Chains A and B, each alone.
Chain A
Amino acid sequence: MSGDALLHIKNLRTSFLMSDGVVQAVRGVDLSVKRGEFLGIVGESGCGKSVTMLSVMGLLPDNAAIKADTLTFDGKDLLSASPREMRSIHGDEIGMIFQDPMTSLDPLFTIGNQLMEPLRIHRKMSASEAERRAAETLEMVGISSPAQRLKQYPHEFSGGMRQRVMIAIAMSCSPKLLIADEPTTALDVTIQAQILELMKDMKEKSGTAVVLITHDLGVIASVCSRVVVMYGGLIMEEGECGDIFYDPLHPYTKGLLASVSGMGSGEKKKLVPIPGSPPDLMNPPDGCPFAARCAFAMKICAAATPKLTNRGGRLAACWMLRRKLTA
């Protein structure tokens, strides 16, 4: 199982120090990303999905602290990696795309400059070589007349075009892993469709593993092969895309699907929302974070945190799975 794992995370915890306490954003996550797979991490705001991947990249702000039993990427231990080693991994072996295409490009440099920089640093390419490669990558992400576009500045590009450029930068060194953090959230649906199509296409062509972080179940369903569902800083359920959508095990996954599936269909029926609010991670509840909102909650759920349990090859963190086994 872990033999073909590109990224291996065991018991990752990330906390942020705030002026009035500690926010435990990630509270013990085990996760493996296989070579060449398209993994989706889905969850609501504050569930720890972005922080998990930022912790892997070592891109957290100063008030954060991380702790993990294992954190390896392609056989390299990231926990003991020096900032210098981390920098050589960034942009070369791991590419990253962020949510906001308006701010993630430097307005003072041309698109060409920003595309060529990783190639020259990591691949030690000559200027003309890097320029040729940059033009190729731009063409690959569907930007026409790349030679002229390379000389332009970010403000001359629209939001969707900038996100294409971001993908081009992230993919320019043919990384082994591409992390996309809400890459389409800031875009309109027609542009979102373009970008998703492009990401799928790029993954097929390059064989890069992709981790797509999003709150949108529809986005997950249209591109991912495997899905991880997070809530309250923990993984609730993990499995193949089809299993998660058609036969969810965890009550949270069920609730999430129920709250969207009612919408958008012709017949008018009352929606089934998940009652209540997500937990405050400054004072996380004892036991399962979802217990207070769960229709099936038991006494044990409020007392002890369930572990990810394997049931017929599927993983979910819910005491109900244990009950069925013991009963």
Chain B
Amino acid sequence: MRIRMTGKKFDMFPERSGDIWGDDIPAELFEPLSEECRESDAINRESMSYWGQARAKMAADPLAMAGLVVIALMVLFAILGPLIRPFPYDEQNYSAINQTPNAEHWFGTDKFGRDLFVRVAYGARISLAVGIVAAFVNVTIGVIYGGVSGYLGGTADMIMMRIVDIMDTIPTLLYIILVMIFLGSNVRSIITALCLSYWLNTSRMVRAQVLSIRTQDFVMAARVAGESGWRILTRHMIPNSIGPIIVMVTFLIPQAIFYEAFLSFIGIGIAVPVASWGTLANDSLSNMNMYPHLTIFPLVAISLTIFAFNFVGDGLRDALDPRLKR
């Protein structure tokens, strides 16, 4: 019986050597076995670090690899898109309005004659920037806050976690509207607003992670060895909790992208004429029946990107999950 998994075929019941001799076994086979055949402590498997194993598992996951390719293409599109076409994103051209995709305007033009290809590429810049910056700022704050809270434990942990609980009672939308009032409708304020609320969950998760690692024997072993608190935190706790944190980042990025698109779509995010996928979708709404391409291109871009990040996140979770390791 053969079972196929991750592209490799395994023989579930390989043939066993033996039963090959009948009654007349050559006498020399009963001579003592040489010493080198008795090395049972040798390890025959290839040595692989945690990261090496993770990389191999990622490479064997077609969906995650496809996701990575899509993300790479999206990044290239964001960087090169506006450079390879001769149209600035905000240049209005009333001689070429509402064109369907053609040789000159690959994605067509909008009601002001602006080139949609360039505008979607600009939207990619904004979305990717929002997603990546928000995720990283969040994780930085969350890891430090949650890590310190879990590491200190006791009363400090109690107070720090109650602060998180209180902050969590304020809806994210409220944060965003307040920040928009003070900083204006731009990319920076969206990132700031997202960072203000998203780190709460991150810090909770990191705290739980640190608490579970703190009780592991190898942390006690590090104390017995005389390692300092700082050394234990940086050499043992963080390396052992980094896997789940990376997975969390990859899931936070599409969430942030989605949030930005949603806010811009309902009109409290990025203001025109700056192009974001959300504003593009919103702009196209009035003429959606006549010019569906204006809606389709930004929507496909949003979906593809979010799908891609989620696939990569799933792949990373499988690859970095300590329970799946033998």
Contact = CB atoms under 8 A, between A and B. Distances in A.
B45 A283 contact: yes
Interface of A: 13, 15, 17-22, 24, 27-28, 65, 67, 275-280, 282-283, 286-287, 291-293, 296-307, 319, 322-323, 326-327
A17 B38 contact: no
Interface string B1-42: 101011000111110111111010100111111000111110
Contacts of A279: 40
B102 interface: no
Given A275-B40, A298-B30, A299-B29, 11 more contacts: A15-B13, A19-B324, A19-B326, A67-B12, A276-B39, A280-B45, A297-B32, A299-B32, A302-B37, A306-B18, A327-B30
Given A65-B1, A287-B18, A319-B30, A17 B10 contact: yes
A323 B5 CA distance: 44
Interface string B193-214: 0000000000000000000000
Size bracket, chain B contacts: 20 to 34
Contacts of B38: 276, 291-293, 297
A17 B14 CA distance: 13
B18 A282 contact: no
A283 B326 CA distance: 14
Contacts of A20: 326
Contacts of A21: 10
B20 A304 contact: yes
Contacts of A293: 38, 40
Contacts of A286: 17
20 contacts: A17-B5, A19-B324, A19-B326, A27-B16, A65-B12, A65-B13, A276-B38, A276-B40, A291-B38, A292-B38, A297-B37, A299-B28, A299-B31, A299-B33, A300-B30, A302-B37, A304-B19, A304-B20, A307-B18, A326-B23
A298 B13 contact: no
Nearest to B29: A300
B89 to A, nearest CB: 46
B13 A67 contact: yes
A303 B324 contact: no
A291, A300, A302, A322 — most chain B CB neighbours (10 Å) = A300
List of 10 A-B pairs having minimum Cβ-Cβ separation, nearest first? A305-B18, A276-B40, A300-B29, A292-B40, A297-B33, A304-B18, A15-B12, A286-B17, A65-B12, A22-B10
Contacts of B19: 304-305, 307
A280 B45 CA distance: 9
A154 to B, nearest CB: 25
Contacts of B25: 300, 322, 326
B49 interface: no
A124 B202 CA distance: 53
A19 B6 contact: yes
Given A65-B3, A298-B29, A300-B29, A292 B39 contact: yes
B286 to A, nearest CB: 52
A323 B13 CA distance: 29
Given A287-B17, A297-B33, A304-B21, A276 B41 contact: yes
B17 A304 contact: yes
B111 interface: no
B169 interface: no
A23 to B, nearest CB: 8
Contacts of A302: 33, 37
A291 B38 CA distance: 7
B188 interface: no
A326 B30 CA distance: 11
B105 interface: no
A304 B1 CA distance: 23
Given A20-B326, A299-B28, A291 B33 contact: yes
B45 A28 contact: no
B6 to A, nearest CB: 7
B174 to A, nearest CB: 40
Nearest to A319: B30
B6 A13 contact: no
- The interface centre, meaning the residue of A21, A299, A302, A327 with most chain B CB atoms within 10 A of its CB, is A299
Contacts of A300: 21, 25, 29-30
B16 A305 contact: yes
B57 interface: yes
Nearest to A298: B30
Nearest to A306: B18
A62 to B, nearest CB: 11
Interface string B64-78: 000000000000000
A269 B37 CA distance: 30
